[in-house]
Each structure stands twice: as structure tokens, then as C-alpha cells.
Structure 1
Amino acid sequence: MSFLPNILFAIVLIIGIGYFSKNIKKLIRNIKLGQPLEVSDNKSQRWKNMAMIALGQSKMVRRPIAGLLHIIVYLGFVVINIEVLEIIIDGVFGTHRIFSFIGSLYGVLIGTFEILALLVFIAVIVFWIRRNIIKLQRFWKSEMTSWPKNDANYILYFEMVLMTLFLVMNSTDVHFQAMNSGNVISQFIAPWFNGLPETTLYMIERSAWWLHIVGILIFLNYLYFSKHLHILLAFPNTFYGSLKPKGAFNNLEAVTKEVKMMMDPNVDPFAAPAEGAEMPAKFGASDVQDLNWLQLLNAYTCTECGRCTSECPANLTGKKLSPRKIMMDTRDRLEEVGKNIDANNGEFKDDGKQLLGDYIAAEELWACTTCNACVEACPVSINPLSIILDMRRYLVMEQSAAPVELNNMMTNIENNGAPWPYNQMDRLNWKDE
């Protein structure tokens, strides 16, 4: 019977990690539904970007208050969870604070964890106030419906509970308090439990210990369904992010070749295509499978922070476009496609829906000014503009569904060699006036 808690702990751990692994495999499968993209260039710059943006939070601090609070929560999440390793070892082998053998260094570590736990708790409360009482505008846009709004609050509650459990666990651990080292914060909470029998303190400590580790496993598995998936995906997303100058257009290779042939006087325009020459099955993108895998990774990495939308000039002038909604819609459609595949034994069956039209309206796409403000604002290197441009390309090249103004301009370029509706011979007539 003495091994029963250890066996139970091992079972809980296996179930928690097993379910997490299953969801990660599904995540990778969904991302791989995207078109191939080669991003193996300039690895030194990519490592630097990941270190500066994902690890160093360099773009977060452009908004100092939110940036500082996020760094506190981020550090707390990373550092405090080092202590989870001790919990796992204690749980599996039946030990108690196995790392305490390192002496005074252990006290320094736990003391640091406790200070961070308190700071995280305070930061999370401030985040909650900013979101729910002050009601910052970017958190209350039209796309922030019940689930995105509630999801953000659930995460804040999770973090508050986990930090509380950590401090209560330390405060009621008689042996830890007797060490008088590392109990920087818990020493002020311990008096709340004065007068309780040692057996009661033990029960409270064990309950907090169990709830803390089970809560962490639940939170770990909740990530897949939450905007907090960026905790894991910010690193690959910043590593594989585009290194091209903002505004550089991604030309279609097939179209580029065709234009070069048209400009080559030695090419017979009536010759049959070369054997083996392939044209893309579709120009642009109308559904998630037409996007590349990095764009799908972007969608899963979106933090829903709304910085992109708050910087978007089209959105600020009342247009329907919201870059955040573009990413959220892409992720929602990708999830729908993934569930379709799961329900049909690994094969996607046409459901009569697509990203364009059913999720994202043409009006949103054409409202974009292509200014790259959303790309610059994103703290984790997401590029909503690339998705907008690919869907515009589909509208123009597959459906000839560009706005009248754009169609007129392209017609003028085709007929007059310029976007203006004047014959080349008439362009200088203005000088006679």
C-alpha cells in the first residue's frame, strides 16, 4: 500500500503526457496540410531572431506596461516550472524535496520561485483588470466573442490558482518551514495555519502538492485548445519567420517563367509547353490547404493580443478588416478540416466550405492597404498580410473578382502601358494647357 500514491502519480503523469503528445501529433499533422515552403536559409539570423523575439521578448516591450507584465509571467512560467521536475521525481520515487540535498542553494532557488510566484500573481491580476474592468479596446473588438474572451480569463484564473497552490504547499510543509531557508514569501503565509495539528498541515500540503501537479498537466493539455499555444510555438514561428524585407512580393514561379518567355524574342509563343512543365493547380489560396505550412503555423501561434488590429489603419478607420480575425479564422478553419480528417479515417471529404467566403469575406481582404503595420506589430513574427495577399491572388487570377477600380487599372496597364486611362500619344497633352 505504501507504493499506491507513487503508482497513482505515475498513472496520472502518463495520462497527462500521453494526451498532450496525441494533441501535438494532431497539431503537426494539421500544419503539414499546408503547401511546402523552403526556409532553411541564413540559419544564424534565424537563431538570432528566435533568441531576441521569442526568448528575449524584444517586441513585447514596445508597449512597456504590457511588456513588463508579460516578461514577469513568462519568467515565472519558465523558472517556477523547473520545480516541477522535483515534484515529478518525488511523485514517482516517493521522496520529499529530493533536491534539498544541495543545501543553501536549494533555499535560494525556492526563494526565487516564491518571489516570482507572487509577482506572477500580481501581474495576472493587473492583466485581468486591464481586460475586464478597464476594458482596453483591442480586447473588445467584434471578433473577441464568448470563447476568445473567456479563454483569456480562464488562463488568468489557471495561473492565479497554480501560484496560490505553490505558495500554500510551501507554507504548510513543516519540514520546509523548519529549514528557514527559501521561505521568502511562504513564511508570511504560514502563520495563517498556526494552531492546526501537524497531520492537518500534512493533508493540506499534500492536497496542494497534488492539485499543483495535476493543474499543471491540465494546463499543459489545455494549451492545444487555447491562444496560449504560443508558449510552445513562438520559438519555431520566430525561427522560420520570413527574412525578406517587408513589402517584398512573393511572385509565383510559374507566372514568372511565363512572363520571361513572353519577353524573350527567341521563344515561339505558339509552341506547346515543354514536356514535364507543370502549372499550379490553383493560383492563390481559397482554403487552408492552399496556404503554406508556415502560414498555418502562424495561425496556431497567434496570441490574440490584438496588437496587429490596433495598429491596422483600415481597422482604425472603421473598415471590416481585422488582421487578428484573419489569423483566428484561419486557425478555426484548419481545426475544422482536421476534425473532418479525423472523422473520415485520415481523409478529407469535401464539406462544402472554404476559408474564403465562409470565414473571411472579400470585403475584409480588399480593405487591406498592405502597409505591413500588422506584421511589424506582432510580438511573435506572425504575418497576416501573406494570407491576405494569397487570397487576393485567388480572387484576381481564379475568379476575376477584383474590385472595379483595380480591374480598370489593370485594363489600363494592358491597353495603355500605365494605370491611367490615356493613350500613350495623349499623355503629354497637359503641357499644351
Structure 2
Amino acid sequence: MSFLPQIIFAIALIFGIGYFAKNVSKIMRNIKLGHGVDTSDNTSQRWKNMAMIALGQSKMVKRPIAGILHVIVYVGFVVINIEVLEIMIDGLTGQHRIFAPAGEIYDILIGTFEILAFLVLVSVIIFWLRRNTIKLKRFLGREMKGWPKNDANYILYFEVVLMCLFLTMNGADLQLQLNGADGYATAGSFPISQWLLPLFDGLSNANLIIVERTAWWLHILGILIFLNYLYYSKHLHILLAFPNTYFGKIKPQGQFENLDAVTNEVKMMMDPNVDPFAAAPEGTEDEVPAKFGASDVQDLSWVNLMNAYTCTECGRCTSECPANQTGKKLSPRKIMMDTRDRLEEVGKNITANNGEFKDDGKQLLGDYITNEELWACTSCNACVEACPISIDPLNIIMQMRQYLVMEQSAAPMELNNMMTNIENNGAPWPYNQMDRLNWKNEG
């Protein structure tokens, strides 16, 4: 029976990590539904982007208040996980504070953990106030009702509870050390939890151990629950921000991706030496894709799909979008959220049908994202520039526009008129080709 706590802990750890691994495999499978894209270029720049944007939070701090608070939570999350490592080793071995023999180094570490835990607690409370009391506009979009709004708050509650449990565990531990309780040798520095000691006045060592052990168990189980909750949450960026910034767009933002088949056709049409009635050169048939653009998630690239899973729903893209600012329905954040929701729906379809997707009569275009949203986009790249983790909503928008134009001929009338004029007159205006340059003769 003396090994029962270690056995229970090992079972909880195996179950928690195993379920997490299962969810990760689902995410990877769903991302791989997208078509391939070449990301082997400029590896040095990609590593630099990952270091600066994901690790260094360079784009996050462009909005100083939210940026600094996020850096505190981010650093706290990373550093405090060292303490989680000790808890895991203690839980499996039946030891208590197994790193304590490190002496002064251990004291500094525990003290640092406590200060960071307190700063995280303060930051999370401010985040909650900004979201629920001050009600910043970028948190109030039409797509931020129901689950998205609740999810953001659940994460904040999780973090408050985890930090409080950590400090309560340490406070009870410190009191047991001061009482000279068996198994609680003097170890660690407790600059924050020492202020909790008045709460433990009058408690016996037996009751203090119950408090300390309860907080210990709830803390580590809470972390395992939080880890598995990530799959259902916008906080997947904790795992995906690094690969997402590495594989993010590194070309100039104004440079669009053109289809080779279309580019070659246009070049041929503009070449006066080419017979317009001649058959296409051999081999060019392979350049023509089976489908132009994208109408569903399987038509997008795997980078697009990873973008969707990585979206933090922070709303910076939407708050910078000029179309959204003028009252249009377009919200780049909603584009990413809709893509992720549809991808999850497709993934569940595949799971339910033993690894095969069966047509469900739905698609991303129309059932999730409307034509009105797509055509409201000015393609200014403001959303791409604003994203703190290199997500590119514009790329998805342009692929879906391409589908509307080239597969369904469903462009707005103004755009159809312009393209007709270019085809017939060689210019967007309804002037005869012979009259196109008359403007230069005007006074």
C-alpha cells in the first residue's frame, strides 16, 4: 500500500499524456489534409522569424499593455514548468522536493517560480478585466459569442486556479518546514507564499499535510487537464506558434502567388509572335490544376490549416482590417475560426467513417464563409502584418476568391466588367484599344 500514491500518479500521468498524444495525432492528421507547399526556401530567415516572433514575442509587444502582460504569462508558463518536472519526479518516486539538495540554486529557483506565479496571477486578472469589464472592442466581434467567449474565460480561470494551488502548496509546505514535520526538511525560498502563513495558524501537522498534498495533487492534475483542454481551445498556439512562425510567409507581403498555368496563358496571349489558334505546347496540360482556388479545407495548403489551428482569436487582425472598420462583414479572425471549425467537422467525419471522408453536403465556402465577406477584403495585408504569430488570413481569402472567379464565374459585376474590358480592350476602361493613349495628347 505504500506504493499506492505512486501507482495512482503514474496512471494519471499515462492517461493524461496518452490522451494528449491522441489529440495531437488528430491535429496532425487534419493539417495533412491540406495540399503540399514548398517551405524549404530561406531556412535561415525562417529560423530567425521563429526566434524573434514566437520566442522573442517581437510582434506581441507592439501593443505594449497586452504585450507585456502576455510576456509575463508566457515566461511564467515556461519557467514554472521546471517546477512541474520536479512534481512529476516526486510523484513517480515517492520523494518530496527531490531537487532540494541543489541548495541555494534551488532556493533561487523556487523564489523565482513564486514571483512569476504572482505576476501571472496579476496579469491574468487584468486580462479578465480587459475582456469582461472594460470590454475592449476587439473582443466583442459577432464571432466571439458563445464558446469562443467562454473558452477565453475558462483559460483565465484555469490559470488563476493553478497559480493559487501552487502558492497554497508552497505555503503549507513552508509551515510544515517551520514546524519541523517529518519529511519536510528546510528547502526553498518562499517570497510570496510566506504571506499565506496566517491562514495556517492553529492547524496541526496532519491537517497541514492534507492541505499541502491536496494542493499538490490538484495542481498536477489541473495541469494534465489543462494540457488536454488545449485541443478544444484557442490556446493551441502554445504548441503551434513555433512551427507556425517558422513556416509563415517570408515573401514580400504584396507578392501574391500566381498559378503557373494562368501566368503562361496570359504570357502567350500577350506575345504577338504566338499563333492564338495554335494548340497548347505538349506537357502544359499537367500545369493546369484539377480545381482552381479553394472551396473547402481540403483545397487549402497544410500551412493554411496549421494557421487555422494556431489562431489565438486575439482580434488584432480584425481590429486593423479597414473593411471591418467601415462596417463590412469581413473579419479576418472569423475567416480563421471558420476554417478551423470546418476542418474539425471534416476530421470528425473521417474519424466516424474509418479514415475516409464521406461527402456531407457542406463546404467552407457558403456554409461558413460568405461571398460578401470575401469580396469585402481590400487585400491590403493589414491582417497579416497585425498577427503576432504569422497567420495569413488573406491567403485563404484569395484562394476562395480564385475559386469564385475561375470555377463559378461568380465575381461582382464591377470586377467582371473590368476583366471583360481588359480582355477586349487591353485596359480596365471601356475604351477602344486605339483610343487608350489619347489622354497624353490632352492639354
How many Å apart are 1:424 and its aligned residue? Answer: 2.3
Partner of 2:305: 296
How many Å apart are 1:40 and its aligned residue? Answer: 1.0
Question: Please, which runs of 5 or more residues in structure 1 have no aligned partner?
Answer: none
CA spacing shift, 1:354–1:81, aligned 2, 3 Å: same
The answer to whether the Cα contact below 8 Å between 2:33 and 2:298 also exists between their aligned partners in 1 is yes
Among 231, 235, 238, the residue aligned to 2:238: 231
Partner of 1:426: 435
How many Å apart are 1:145 and its aligned residue? Answer: 1.2
- TM-score, with structure 1 as normaliser: 0.97
The answer to whether the Cα contact below 8 Å between 2:168 and 2:193 also exists between their aligned partners in 1 is yes
CA spacing shift, 1:239–1:11, aligned 2, 3 Å: same
Q: Map of 1:336-375 to 2, 5 A cutoff? A: 336-375=345-384
The answer to whether the Cα contact below 8 Å between 2:6 and 2:91 also exists between their aligned partners in 1 is yes
CA spacing shift, 1:268–1:395, aligned 2, 3 Å: closer
Among 270, 283, 298, the residue aligned to 2:278: 270
The amino acid across from 1:210 in the alignment is W
Q: Map of 1:304-319 to 2, 5 A cutoff? A: 304-319=313-328
The amino acid across from 2:279 in the alignment is A
| 4+ residue segments displaced more than 6 Å | none
Among 340, 357, 372, the residue aligned to 1:331: 340
The amino acid across from 2:81 in the alignment is N
Partner of 1:172: 172
Partner of 2:37: 37
Q: For 1:184 and 1:269, how far apart are their aligned partners in 2?
A: 83
Describe the SS at the equivalent of 2:112: helix
CA spacing shift, 1:197–1:309, aligned 2, 3 Å: same
Partner of 1:243: 250
How many Å apart are 1:344 and its aligned residue? Answer: 0.3
1:215 counterpart = 2:241:
no
Describe the SS at the equivalent of 1:95: coil
The answer to whether the Cα contact below 8 Å between 1:6 and 1:93 also exists between their aligned partners in 2 is yes
Among 203, 213, 233, the residue aligned to 2:210: 203
Q: For 1:176 and 1:62, how far apart are their aligned partners in 2?
A: 45
Partner of 1:82: 82
Percent identity reads 74
How many Å apart are 1:423 and its aligned residue? Answer: 0.8
How many Å apart are 1:190 and its aligned residue? Answer: 1.8
1:410 counterpart = 2:413:
no
1:18 counterpart = 2:18:
yes
How many Å apart are 1:95 and its aligned residue? Answer: 0.5
Q: For 1:307 and 1:297, how far apart are their aligned partners in 2?
A: 18
Describe the SS at the equivalent of 1:13: helix
How many Å apart are 1:425 and its aligned residue? Answer: 2.3
Q: For 1:425 and 1:260, how far apart are their aligned partners in 2?
A: 21
The answer to whether the Cα contact below 8 Å between 2:100 and 2:188 also exists between their aligned partners in 1 is no
Partner of 1:193: 200
The amino acid across from 2:160 in the alignment is M
Among 287, 293, 296, the residue aligned to 1:287: 296
CA spacing shift, 1:378–1:275, aligned 2, 3 Å: closer
Question: Please, which runs of 5 or more residues in structure 2 have no aligned partner?
Answer: 179-184
How many Å apart are 1:42 and its aligned residue? Answer: 1.1
The answer to whether the Cα contact below 8 Å between 1:108 and 1:181 also exists between their aligned partners in 2 is yes
The answer to whether the Cα contact below 8 Å between 1:170 and 1:176 also exists between their aligned partners in 2 is no
The amino acid across from 2:316 in the alignment is R
Q: For 2:431 and 2:263, how far apart are their aligned partners in 1?
A: 28
Q: For 2:270 and 2:412, how far apart are their aligned partners in 1?
A: 28
Q: For 1:175 and 1:102, how far apart are their aligned partners in 2?
A: 20
How many Å apart are 1:253 and its aligned residue? Answer: 1.9
The amino acid across from 2:258 in the alignment is N
Partner of 2:266: 259
Deviations 1:362-405 (A, max 9, x none): 00000000110000000000000000000000000000000000
What is the RMSD computed on CA atoms of the aligned residues?
A: 1.6
Describe the SS at the equivalent of 1:165: helix
How many Å apart are 1:267 and its aligned residue? Answer: 6.9
How many Å apart are 1:255 and its aligned residue? Answer: 1.8
Deviations 1:190-247 (A, max 9, x none): 2211110000000110000000000000000000100000011000000001110011
Q: Map of 1:63-102 to 2, 5 A cutoff? A: 63-102=63-102
Describe the SS at the equivalent of 2:144: coil
The answer to whether the Cα contact below 8 Å between 2:320 and 2:386 also exists between their aligned partners in 1 is yes
Q: For 1:308 and 1:276, how far apart are their aligned partners in 2?
A: 39
Q: For 1:429 and 1:272, how far apart are their aligned partners in 2?
A: 36
Q: For 1:176 and 1:333, how far apart are their aligned partners in 2?
A: 54
Q: For 1:260 and 1:309, how far apart are their aligned partners in 2?
A: 37
Q: For 1:409 and 1:266, how far apart are their aligned partners in 2?
A: 25
Count of paired positions: 433
Partner of 2:62: 62
Q: For 1:357 and 1:273, how far apart are their aligned partners in 2?
A: 37
The answer to whether the Cα contact below 8 Å between 2:261 and 2:284 also exists between their aligned partners in 1 is no
The amino acid across from 2:278 in the alignment is F
The answer to whether the Cα contact below 8 Å between 2:31 and 2:306 also exists between their aligned partners in 1 is yes
The amino acid across from 1:179 in the alignment is T
The answer to whether the Cα contact below 8 Å between 1:111 and 1:182 also exists between their aligned partners in 2 is yes
Partner of 2:181: none
How many Å apart are 1:179 and its aligned residue? Answer: 2.6
CA spacing shift, 1:181–1:20, aligned 2, 3 Å: closer
Deviations 1:140-176 (A, max 9, x none): 1111011000000000000000000000000001455
- TM-score, with structure 2 as normaliser: 0.95
The answer to whether the Cα contact below 8 Å between 2:176 and 2:208 also exists between their aligned partners in 1 is no
Describe the SS at the equivalent of 1:179: coil
Q: For 2:380 and 2:442, how far apart are their aligned partners in 1?
A: 37
Deviations 1:312-342 (A, max 9, x none): 0000000000000000000000000000000
